[in-house]
């Protein structure tokens, strides 16, 4: 009798325990689902997520968020700009917590969608608005600071005192690269000159190669290419002609280890990850821009992995970094600011 009571009691305890485990599992699953409820989508511009540039960097930041924050991610690539709106709409229909548009050319479409769907959170990379919608977070970078550092290096290392700048399309973003680079060159070498050409596109590698060939043939021995996919052609030109080129957005030294002198890092991955982290932590409010510069570790230069750059040049660059962070040096971002510093 005692044995039966004990057995019955044990059975009851086991059943109760299993019930509790089941409840806890469901609760845990629910909590897990709650954490996994965060769904973030990204619309890449025409460069695509394998552009070796800012689209790829944005995608890497989103993948990092998936891995470290446990979110669900989606991406839609655009073959042409006319697809931006429909691609954004396709993500809106999926009930995501945040939709990220990559590139300033998507800014107006993001704004339109934000007005159409006030309860949907958006982020736009590389653009902001005079009046930022309450459900939009612009993610901006001080590209001029990164470009300035590469200009210092180029100015110190040129043998011809002739340098080149290849831009994709004229825009505030590319202007920050251009005038930051020019200011850095002058700070590093007052005798050096920068020849500038724009391709009018971010997606034509053949045109980038042709323009780079012209700049190199004209005497430039180092060039910065802020041109997205168009810049891939410039890197190919540098390889063929045995010249130096400076990459942009991400460390592009893997594309031409002996020719990529350094890269002007624009850490879009950092901006994307930090924005998603704020979303997950409940701190993303929208309506205000997030700006990443040297002080926020949002821009910089690539590590000197090939040991091409002399240590004294790197020491000079590091001293300039500290002066920028302290406010002693203000790097121009526009032609007007650059001319006023001459």
What confidence tens digit (pLDDT) does each residue in 271-305 have? 999 999 999 999 998 999 999 999 999 999 998 76
**The model scores a pTM over 0.85:** no
What confidence tens digit (pLDDT) does each residue in 296-324 have? 999 999 987 667 899 999 999 999 999 99
What confidence tens digit (pLDDT) does each residue in 9-59 have? 344 433 333 333 333 332 233 344 444 579 999 999 988 888 878 899 999
Backbone φ and ψ for 261, nearest 5 degrees, come out as -65, -45
- Provide the pLDDT confidence category of residue 258 given band limits of 50, 70 and 90: very high
Q: Which residue shows structure tokens 């680079």?
A: 181
Domains of the chain, CATH where assigned:
38-141+269-292 (3.40.50.2300), 143-265+310-341 (3.40.50.2300)
Residues 6+ apart with CB under 8 A from 220: 160, 162, 163, 164, 195, 243
Q: HSE of 189 in the Cβ direction (CA atoms, 13 Å)? A: 22
Q: Residue 17's pLDDT is what?
A: 39
């Amino acid at each position: 009798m005692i044995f039966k009571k004990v057995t019955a009691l044990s059975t009851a305890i086991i059943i109760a325990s299993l019930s509790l485990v089941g409840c806890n599992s469901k609760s845990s699953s629910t909590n897990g689902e709650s954490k996994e409820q965060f769904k973030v989508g990204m619309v890449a511009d025409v460069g695509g997520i394998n552009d070796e540039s800012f689209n790829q960097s944005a995608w890497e930041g989103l993948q990092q968020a998936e891995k470290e924050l446990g979110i669900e991610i989606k991406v839609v690539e655009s073959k042409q700009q006319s697809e931006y709106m429909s691609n954004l709409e396709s993500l809106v229909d999926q009930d995501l917590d945040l939709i990220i548009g990559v590139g300033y050319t998507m800014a107006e479409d993001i704004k339109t969608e934000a007005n159409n769907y006030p309860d949907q959170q958006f982020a736009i990379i590389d653009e902001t608005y005079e009046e930022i919608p309450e459900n939009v977070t612009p993610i901006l970078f001080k590209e001029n600071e990164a470009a300035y550092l590469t200009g210092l290096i180029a100015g110190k290392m040129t043998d011809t005192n002739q340098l080149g700048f290849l831009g994709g399309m004229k825009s505030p973003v590319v202007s920050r690269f251009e005038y930051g680079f020019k200011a850095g060159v002058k700070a590093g070498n007052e005798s050096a000159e920068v020849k500038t050409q724009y391709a009018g596109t971010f997606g034509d590698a053949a045109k980038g190669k042709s323009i780079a060939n012209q700049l190199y043939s004209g005497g430039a021995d180092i060039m910065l290419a802020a041109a997205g996919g168009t810049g891939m052609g410039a890197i190919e030109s540098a390889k063929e002609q045995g010249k130096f080129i400076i990459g942009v957005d991400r460390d592009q030294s893997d594309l031409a280890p002996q020719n990529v002198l350094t890269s002007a890092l624009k850490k879009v991955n950092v901006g994307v990850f930090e924005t998603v982290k704020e979303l997950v932590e409940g701190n993303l409010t929208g309506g205000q821009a997030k700006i990443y510069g040297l002080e926020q570790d949002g821009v910089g230069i690539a590590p000197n992995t090939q040991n091409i750059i002399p240590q004294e040049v790197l020491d000079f660059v590091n001293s300039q970094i500290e002066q920028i962070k302290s406010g002693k040096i203000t790097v121009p971002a526009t032609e007007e600011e650059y001319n006023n510093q001459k």
